[in-house]
Amino acid sequence: MIQSSVSKPPKKGRKSVDPSLSMFQRCSALMNNDESRAVVLQAIVLAAVLFGLWFLFANASDNLDRLGMTFGFDFLPVTAGFDISWSLIPYDSSMSYWRVFFVGIVNTLVLSACVIVVGTLIGTVVGILRLSDNPLVSQMARWYVEIVRNVPLLIQIIFWFTVVFSTLPAPRQSYHLGEWLFLNNRGLYVTSMESTLSWGWFFLLVGALAFALYGLFRWSKPYYTLSGTRSSGFYIGLVLWGVAAVWSVWFLSQSMTLSVPTLQGFNYSGGAFLPASFGAAFVAMTVYRSAAIAETVRAGMQSIDRGQYEAAFTIGFSRVQSLRLILIPQAIRSIIPPMTNSWLAATKDSSLAVAIGFPELVSVFMQTSMNQTGRAIEIIFMVMGFYIFISLLISYLLNKYNDSVQYKVR
């Protein structure tokens, strides 16, 4: 054993304080010791934060008293009494503020889901076009991205709303596709199916069918991985599944009636309706999001070693094949984290639709309801809570997915 020439560090322990020290010196000694300093600092910060919170809430209760306002969530079951121009779940003005909150949430989620799906598709295509060998194509993709992402989203939303969607013809002269689809400055009217059954049955059937198909593939997978062909049981199952699908479509169509939009007075009735504000918000946000995603995709694709592409080319893959089989699966790893952020941003950006009066959460709850009830604190906390919940949820799910895609490094 090698004898260390370094003397052992002195044993740690609470040193007794020299009684001859003055009060000030004792305090400074406290600040010069790492452990005690940490405690003191944290205590100071915690005290400051708690005092700040106490100060704020004391002020709030004073101000509320002074203004004759009350705090509490008792306004939620009260009748809202205002109309909402578009809602996916049934709503009329005799329903409560709770319902308004949920209408806002559903509209926000629908808008952001549409933007995320279409924006990701377009963005991926544009991002790949930017890497095209054809200079005309790649430059056009580049300038699309540059122009779109350097102009504020709010300007784009208002531009699409006032310049494009509001200048469409009036309902009487609307653009139409046969008698099925009408586009005018109020929005888009589409022929829809109306069912006497509740939507629950519909979702149940579709869910059961999807689950059965998934189960079938899952069940036949071991045989497929061993032999490379599907077993005959799989095909029998597939035929049975097809029969069940046809039967359920027939079953559903029994209770369905077509609802065709028809002009009555100045407006259409019947059919499904998408307001112009939805169209403008959707188009503007999709374009904006696609530019952001195109940049993400391009960066991800460029992060792959060029040798990969050359190797794929050497073994005779076409451009599409090498993209699909070699490049994209590898690029996904570096694309997913920024893509997550982009999707989160899309959800948050959907709040900008308030500027053109699309009835999403901020518009119906934070503006109209807050003006009517005056419950600023409660409403703002509810809205923020919703956004925080959604953000945490999306980032949690995508982190899970991200973990499963990344290289396993041990």
Instruction: List interacting residues with another protein (CB under 8 A).
Output: 38, 41-42, 45-46, 49, 56-57, 59-60, 62-64, 66, 133-137, 140, 146-147, 150-156, 158-159, 162-163, 344, 348-349, 351-352, 354-355, 362, 366, 370, 376-377, 380, 383-384, 387-388, 391-392
Give the dihedral sign, CA 288/291/294/298: negative
Cα 289 to chain centroid, rounded = 11
Separation between Cα atoms, residue 34 and residue 23, nearest integer Å: 19
Q: What are the distances in angstroms from CA 92 to CA 81, 143, 192, 275?
A: 8, 45, 21, 17
**Measured from the CB atom, is 27 or 58 closer to another protein?**
58
Q: How far is the CB of 30 from another protein (least distance, A)?
A: 15
Cα 306 to chain centroid, rounded = 33
Q: How far is the CB of 118 from another protein (least distance, A)?
A: 20
Q: How far is the CB of 8 from another protein (least distance, A)?
A: 21
Name residue 192's beta-bridge partners.
259
Q: How far is the CB of 270 from another protein (least distance, A)?
A: 32
Phi and psi torsions of 342, nearest 5°: -65, -40
**Measured from the CB atom, is 270 or 338 closer to another protein?**
338
**Measured from the CB atom, is 294 or 354 closer to another protein?**
354
**Measured from the CB atom, is 312 or 352 closer to another protein?**
352
**Measured from the CB atom, is 206 or 388 closer to another protein?**
388
Q: How far is the CB of 135 from another protein (least distance, A)?
A: 6
**Measured from the CB atom, is 95 or 354 closer to another protein?**
354
DSSP character string of 318-383: -HHHIIIIIIHHHHHHHHHHHHHHHHHHHHHHGGGGGGGT---HIIIIIIIIHHHH--HHHHHHHH
Phi and psi torsions of 293, nearest 5°: -70, -35
Q: How far is the CB of 159 from another protein (least distance, A)?
A: 5
Residue 170, SS3 per DSSP: coil
Q: How far is the CB of 294 from another protein (least distance, A)?
A: 15
Q: Tokens 């008792």 sit at which residue?
A: 74
**Measured from the CB atom, is 249 or 377 closer to another protein?**
377
Separation between Cα atoms, residue 122 and residue 333, nearest integer Å: 19
Residue 283 in tokens: 């188009």
